[in-house]
């Protein structure tokens, strides 16, 4: 399965686990050691990093 975050496509099999930080925020932990915070319901003009 693939997850589209804005213009960034993420392979879900690279996600190690997901932690809920706040009601509308989750943190994705990848097998590579990278982390991404995802804020749901928030609009932004910036690309995901």
CB atoms within 10 A of CB 29: 14
The answer to whether the predicted template modeling score (pTM) of the entire model surpasses 0.75 is no
> What is the pLDDT, as a whole number, of residue 46?
65
Q: Profile the chain (49 residues) by mean pLDDT over runs of 10 residues.
A: 83 91 91 89 65
> What is the pLDDT, as a whole number, of residue 48?
59
CB atoms within 10 A of CB 14: 12
> What is the pLDDT, as a whole number, of residue 18?
93
> What is the pLDDT, as a whole number, of residue 38?
86
Alpha-carbon distance 43 to 46, whole Å?
9
């Amino acid at each position: 399965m693939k997850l589209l975050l804005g213009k960034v496509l993420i392979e879900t099999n690279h996600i190690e686990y997901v932690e809920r930080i706040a009601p509308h925020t989750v943190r994705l932990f990848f097998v590579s050691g990278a982390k991404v915070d995802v804020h749901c319901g928030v609009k932004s003009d910036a690309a995901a990093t």
